[in-house]
Structure 1
Amino acid sequence: MPEAGPERRKIETRLTRGDRLYRSLATAAAAVTLALIVLIGVFLLIRAMPALREAGWSFITVKEWRPDGQQPRFGVSAMLFGTFVTALVAMAVTFPVSVATAIFINEYAPRRIKQTLTSLIDLMAAIPSLIFAIWGLFFLIPLLLPIEQWAVDELGGSLPFMRAAAIGASLFNAGLVISLMTIPIATSIIREVLSQTPRHECEGALALGATRWGMIRTVVLPFGRGGIVGGSMLGLGRALGETLAATLILSVTFEIKPRVLENGGITVASAIAVQFKDAQTMGLSALMAAGLALFAVTFVINMLAALVVSRSRSGAGVEA
């Protein structure tokens, strides 16, 4: 009669008291965050209803802003255009600079200065927006004016969007200053994600004859794809809602300015900051409606970003 083999142990997963407490706290924090987002949206919608009833669908297409006049006429088309232009300019600078900086710190910087550079980037992410706005207004923009004037004179004849009667307080310059605020945030997140790349994967690529850039291109960047997208989208969210830079730099005009170097423009955040103090009943409701529009745009962009991140999670590109 054959001998009975050893009895198999049954492995069970049991949550400890600490595990259950942590799960409860994490669930509660997520629920509170979701509830706050819903409450903010409901609050804006309720306060915006009088303006939305008054303006109707023209609220999306009208660029004038006269909510407290005898014949109210107002809309967010000029605000949304300015918001998108400044955000696109900011991200056109932020994305390549952030990725390049993160790669340099992780892969090329000497070990003795790597920690210093990391600390500086994290410190820059904590600098108040007002400091960046003042620095951009009094240093960066005057430094760029001769270059922008040359671009207008030399390229304005062939490129319509480069034409400008006056330069300086433009959507382009506002976007550049906003990029100074988004670069540290995006760089910090992207660098942290890229630093998690398994070193044995990198060393294996180098051992097989890859150059350092080839290793970065085939191992590091695919691994950190989700973090790159997430960090960039966080920077985009900051750019869409930035107030101080747009308020201080832009020459406020409720017009759609396709010539990005020309003075004038408005964003949703700067319009709320400029108009809030003098707004009356309908004006306040109209500003709430503008805030609701920005809230909806930001929410949609973040949802799309979450979808992209979920489909390009970090590490997916280097899995066997």
Structure 2
Amino acid sequence: MSVCKYATAGCVITISIMLLRKFSRAYRVYKRAMTIAGKEMLNKTVIITGANCGIGKATALELAKRHARVILACRDKEKANSAISDIRRITSSGEVVFRHLDLESFRSIRDFCCEVIENETKLDILINNAAVMNHPYKKTEDNLEIHMSVNHFGNFLLTNLLLDLLKKSSAGRIIFVSSALHKYGKVNMEDFQGQQKKPYANSKLANVYFARELAHRLKGTGVAVHTLHPGMVNTELSRYSYAPVLNIIVNPLKYLLLSSAEEGSQGIVHLAMANLQSDTGKYYGRTGEEEEWPEISSDRAIWKKMWEISEKLTNLQ
């Protein structure tokens, strides 16, 4: 019996410590956000993909607080409008609008970009945030495996189609929300249609190749490129990683062990606001601190090959 009592007491103490740490981190994030919320983003136009939930939504809120014009580029109109309502309950600053974008579809991406180019005089920041993880195997309408299509090729086409608009900004910038898991990826340059063993890591590595080559090509244009990994964050990204019946067990653990979406957004907000134009092409951690690029992404010949393949498959020309 005494063993059970000690075990129970140990569990209670452990959970209490984890909760205290959780609330302490959340308070620090809130305090920092409140102290720097002002008009820093006034007259800035920002596009955030996948902004109806998670890190994207949290980022949209923080930038709206700072008076930005924020375009939520999302697939689901109902969820996007719900996110806008949530943001408006917290702040009336800035402008928050929805534009339909489905990164699974090159046709949708082109339609989205045409609408943005027609209605916006400039674009100051593009935040490539949307992604899928551990999605059941599926081919998109463009005959590509879904992780590669959404996490890389969709970003490639979207970013390139919006480059001219970004160059009209006095300090345009592109932010890639990557993942530290890209270090474990391997891109098969001969097959972007078949089922893969590590589809998320592979697609994120392909996107890192693109980000690095893009930064190299945009030197001297006034458009900066920043890549960030937000760490382990409690969002809907992992919804395909386990059976829904396990939510009753997994959700409390995720809440205790992982960063919140608000915490995960802080590095992105920092990169969106900080004066980092001269630091283009660098890699950052979850709070916006600079880190070394992993060795796996160091070969520029691979960046160029990934670019050329992406250009052909998206019919960019």
User: Normalising to structure 2: TM-score of the pair?
Assistant: 0.28
User: Normalising to structure 1: TM-score of the pair?
Assistant: 0.28
Higher helix share: 1
Higher CA-based Rg = 1
Higher strand share: 2
Q: Which has the higher contact order (CA 8 A, sep 6+)?
A: 1
